[in-house]
Amino acid sequence: MSDDENLIRVAVAVPHAEGFDYVWAGAGERPAVGSRVRVPFGRGERVGIVIEHPATTKLARAKIRPCDSTIDAGPIIATELLDILRFAADYYHHPIGEVVKHALPASLRGGRALAATRDTAWRLTDLGREQARAPSARLGIRQGAVLMALANETSVGARELSRRGAARAFLKRLAKRGFVEAFELADAPPRRSVSRPQGLELTSDQATALEALEAEAEGFAAFLLHGVTGSGKTEIFLRLIEKVLERGRQTLLLVPEIGLTPQLVGRLRERFGDALVVLHSALTPRERAVAWGEAQSGEAMLVVGTRSAVFAPLPHAGLVIVDEEHDPSYKQQDGFRYSARDLAVARARRLGVRVVLASATPSLESLQNVSSGRYRLLRLPRRIGAAGPPAFRLIDLQKHATRQGLSTPLLASIDAHLGRGNQVLLFINRRGFAPALFCPQCNTAEECDRCDARMTVHARTGSILCHHCGSERALRWACPRCGTERIGVGAGTERVTDELRSLYPERRIERLDSDVTSRRGALAAVLENVARGDTSILVGTQMLTKGHDFPRVTLVGVLNADQGLFGTDFRRNERLAQTIVQVAGRAGRRDQPGEVVIQTHFPEHPLLRSLLDQDYTAFAELALEERRRASWPPFSHLAVWRAEATQRQRVFEFLTKLRDHATGQNVAVRVLGPAPASMERSRGRYRGQLLFECGERNALHTLVTAMLEELRQWRETRRVRWAIDIDPAEL
Ligand SMILES: [Zn+2]
Ligand SMILES: [Zn+2]
């Protein structure tokens, strides 16, 4: 133990639970908490963030290394953001350095300066103006276009130019030739103008919800906005954001995926223009740094982003919204396993602002938070302008055979809807041609070498593919063992599409799955063809559920509801109900109600009955009651230890030892397992898990902390890869 007035605690991105202590040896005061420093680390040097000015350290005086190099003049991470990062590190039991690393754009982690934001602008020089009036030099098409853009306006911000497609390279070439010059815009005020389409009236449900939200405009309050599909949730977001913007405050809007929902970002861009920045994983490091910098400087009044945007800087926060709050993608499934939805609530509380969780199919956790009084429920029970809710129909597959996944009654419905000039959506949660390649002679299906999984047949690419690890082999119909012609068993999107094309050769039938959308621009093209009415039938996976607006669809078919009915994960029913309700929400239009046809072998299953005879709320009540009886979340708290190794025995030895140490330490915590993971072998590694379950969160966390401390002494940890997953999304 040593005391020093000049101690700093620094988060460095290494797998170490806490920060590292140094003594400040540079000129002047200790660097501020939240600023970056360069510290000696091992034999090299690292960039870290000062997270604390501690009074004492556990290190011996002689062991404290000096640090004398700062990068920033002041904090680049505000105290509030640092607070939530530390909270997240504690709560998810993840090293603080790794958590901080997750929150910062790569260029800042590397020690570069905060990226210049839209302070930089470009204008023509005298020479450039002459060139624009009477061209004397020969310019390429792109350089010419940039020059003309600048000639028509006195100056244009770098950001705006890049949006118009002017690459930096062209600007630099023009600058080199003396035609343009860059200059600093002196504190350009952020654009706060808002353009709202004329004559857009709120429904009475919308108005009531908005009023309730506005009544709590100051301070922390949590709302669950349960609005059926098409009830106008987005318009409520837009009005709220507008009001927050008028007060000069920022909004953070989290969405599960940005690529799949171009319509939402389009609407936001239309309404808020330049005040909006988007943060997601497909940005280049530079784009990310710029967007982050604009949120940080307060120029960006609206930050829209996926999971990690929950850590965006928000110096003037006024509102946090989590759209599609039930979506499992808010939980990170590897590394730093946090829930962006849960952290959004925790952050809003610290910021002292409202948080709105919205969904057509709220998670059972959030509904329980309404029951316990933590969240306030706002409902939008009616669709705007639609003829009414869709009618559900179950088709019993024990009575009706299917051909390539399609039963006769479903085909009859498809015929009827197409005959009336409408469109059809078919949902099947399997991409590819067939989920198994089966030899009737050997009685076996081809399996992946590295996973406990069957290879999926992809006829288009002539390959078989493991959907878990991505292993790929050429498709050969002849069995390698006996030479018999093998068969593709079951149906995926490719096969269903093929079948429909042969049944309706004159119609346009398209597919929407990740095989299609991996081609650049393909998603937009598919969505456009449906929106224009050119596509008669769209066959797709989970992607169909992602909030698309298809105005002429009147029939939705769910081809294999049974996949979600049985299994070991306690959330399977909830996920299935959410999928069915979300995909069903695409059916129906102004003048004709929609129809939803579900194919199942279990038409009497209570889950399907509650959903169909009543609605999602009725299902949720039933499902919550089941969870309460089985004491699953939200009526208990879970932590899962996940372990994997190339040898099965090592995984189980490790988890068994962990169990033996944990058992009896706290009677409130139930220790269950070890058990194999739902797919035991994946990517050539064996996987197992040990479950901690407890009614009180604190007892659970105390035990996890104790076990982590214990694990530090173990040699086994070198031979197995392990992780702790708090509030797991999947078991
Ligand atoms: Zn065979
Ligand atoms: Zn595999």
Please check whether residue 90 is in contact with residue 122, taking contact to mean a CB–CB distance below 8 angstroms. Answer: no
Q: For residue 476, how far is its CA from the centre of ligand 1 (angstroms)?
A: 12
Q: How far is the CA of 636 from the centre of ligand 1 (A)?
A: 49
pLDDT at 99: 95
Residue 426 tokens, joined: 């078919």
- 513 Cα–ligand 2 center, Å: 19
Under a CB-based contact definition with an 8 Å cutoff, are residues 452 and 679 in contact?
yes
Helix (H, G, I), strand (E, B) or coil at 303: strand
Q: Which chain residues have CB less than 5 Å from ligand 2, an ion?
A: 448, 450-451, 466, 468-469, 471
> How many angstroms separate the CA atoms of 97 and 86, rounded?
10
Tell me the C-alpha distance between 341 and 322, whole Å: 7
The proportion of the chain whose per-residue pLDDT surpasses 90, expressed as a percent, equals: 63
Ligand 1 centroid – CA 244 distance (Å):
66
**How far away, in angstroms, is 316 Cα from ligand 2 center?**
47
Enumerate the β-bridge partners of residue 358.
Answer: 225
Burial class of residue 119 (count of CB atoms within 10 Å of its CB; 0-12, 13-18, 19+):
middle
Report for 99-108, 117-126, 484-493, 540-549: range of highest mean pLDDT: 484-493
The three-state secondary structure class of 590 is coil
Most confident of 108-122, 153-167, 385-399: 385-399
186: confidence class by pLDDT, cuts 50, 70, 90: very low
Among residues 543, 548, 542, the alpha carbon closest in space to that of 563 is found at 542
Ranges assigned E (strand) in 84-176: 120-124, 156-157
Q: Residue 333 to residues 305, 603, 673, 708: CA-CA distances in angstroms? A: 18, 33, 21, 20
Is residue 31 packed enough to be buried (19+ CB in 10 Å), middle (13-18) or exposed (0-12)?
A: buried
The DSSP symbol for 134 reads S
Distance CA 268, CA 281 (A): 19
Provide the residue type at 684 as one letter. Answer: G
CA–centroid distance, 470 to ligand 2, in Å, is 6
**Where is average pLDDT lowest: 24-33, 189-198, 594-603, 614-623?**
189-198
Neighbours of 725 (CB within 10 A): 22
pLDDT computed for residue 620 by the predictor = 95
Residue 586: strand, helix, or coil: coil
Q: Given this model, what pLDDT does residue 118 score?
A: 45
Residue 548 has pLDDT above 80, yes or no: no
- Ligand 2 centroid to 435 CA: how many Å? 13
Q: How far is the CA of 466 from the centre of ligand 2 (A)?
A: 5
CA 344 from chain center: how many Å? Answer: 13
Return all residues near 117 (Cβ < 8 A) that are at least 6 apart.
159, 290, 293, 294, 297, 299
What is the number of alpha carbons within 13 Å of residue 199 lying toward its C-beta?
Answer: 0
pLDDT of residue 222: 98
Determine the straight-line distance between the first and last CA of the chain, rounded to whole angstroms: 42
pLDDT in tens, 396-448: 999 999 999 999 999 999 999 999 999 999 999 899 999 999 999 999 999 99
- In terms of DSSP H, where are the helices of 379-506? 408-419, 493-503
Q: How far is residue 672's CA from residue 203's CA, in Å, rounded to a whole number?
A: 50
Phi and psi based region of residue 636 (left: phi greater than 0; alpha: psi -120 to 50; beta: remaining)? beta
By mean pLDDT, which of 57-71, 126-140, 312-326, 578-592 is the weakest? 126-140
pLDDT at 194 over 90: no
Least confident residue range of 142-151, 296-305, 643-652: 142-151
pLDDT of residue 240: 95
pLDDT given for residue 193 in this prediction: 55
DSSP state of 138: -
Q: Which ligand is nearest to the CA of 444?
A: 1
Q: How far is the CA of 686 from the centre of ligand 1 (A)?
A: 28
Model confidence over 10-67: pLDDT tens digits?
999 888 778 999 999 998 889 999 999 999 999 999 999 999 999 999 888 888 999 9
CA distance linking residue 50 with residue 75, whole number of Å = 9
Any residues with CB less than 8 A from the CB of 708 and at least 6 apart, and which? 17, 93, 724
- Proximal ligand: closest to the CA of 487: 1
More confident residue, 176 or 327: 327
CA angle 639-355-92, nearest 5°?
20
Tokens of 40: 């000696």
Cα–Cα nearest to 158, from 201, 109, 119:
119
Query: CA 454 to CA 475: how far, in whole Å?
Result: 13
CA of 287 to the centre of ligand 2 (A): 34
The whole-number pLDDT of residue 220 equals 97
Asked if 667 contacts 437 with a C-beta cutoff of 8 angstroms, the reply is: no
The CA R_g of the chain, rounded to the nearest whole Å, is 29
pLDDT above 70 covers what percent of the chain?
93
Ligand number nearest CA of 441 is 1
Ligand nearest to the CA of 476: 1
Mean per-residue pLDDT for 113-119?
A: 56
Residue 37, strand partner residues: 48, 70
> pLDDT at residue 559 above 80?
yes
> Please, what is the average pLDDT of the chain?
89
Q: What span, in angstroms and rounded, lies between the C-alpha atoms of 141 and 163?
A: 17
pLDDT (0 to 100) of residue 187: 44
Q: What's the confidence (pLDDT) of residue 418?
A: 96
The neighbour count for residue 567, using CB atoms within 10 Å, is 14
CA 142 to each of CA 120, 145, 162, 178, 547: distance values in angstroms, whole numbers, following the listed order: 20, 5, 12, 16, 37
- Cβ-contact 26, 66 below 8 angstroms: no
| CA 631/CA 520 separation, integer angstroms | 46
Place of tokens 């809807």: 417
**What is the predicted pLDDT for the residue at 188?**
44
At residue 454, φ and ψ (nearest 5 deg) are -85, 150
Give the torsion through C-alpha atoms of 502, 503, 508, 514, to 10 deg.
Answer: -70
Half-sphere exposure of 496 (CA within 13 A, CB side): 32
Taking the centre of ligand 1 as the mean of its atom positions, its distance from the CA of residue 484, in whole angstroms, is 5
Q: Give me the pLDDT at residue 167, please.
A: 66
pLDDT of amino acid 547: 62
User: What's the number of CA atoms in the CB half-sphere (13 Å) around residue 546?
Assistant: 21
Ligand 1: centre distance to CA 601 (Å): 29
Coil, strand, or helix at residue 44? strand
pLDDT class of 2 with cuts at 50, 70, 90 = low
- Report residue 112: phi and psi, to 5°: -75, 165
Nearest 5°: phi and psi at 256?
A: -65, -40
Q: What backbone torsions phi and psi does residue 169 show, to the nearest 5 degrees?
A: -60, -40
When pLDDT is averaged across residues 93-103 and rounded to a whole number, the result is 93
Interval 282-325: pLDDT, tens: 788 888 888 898 999 888 999 999 999 999 999 999 999 999 99
Q: Residues 655-673: pLDDT tens digits?
A: 999 999 999 888 899 999 9
What sections of 277-334 are H helices per DSSP?
285-297
- Residue 298 near residue 116, CB atoms below 8 Å: no
Q: pLDDT (tens digit, 9 = 90+) per residue, 452-504?
A: 999 999 999 999 999 999 999 999 999 999 999 999 999 999 999 999 999 99
Dihedral of alpha carbons 470, 475, 476, 482, sign: positive
Residue 189: pLDDT above 50?
A: no
155 pLDDT more than 60:
yes
Contact 423, 530 (CB under 8 A): yes
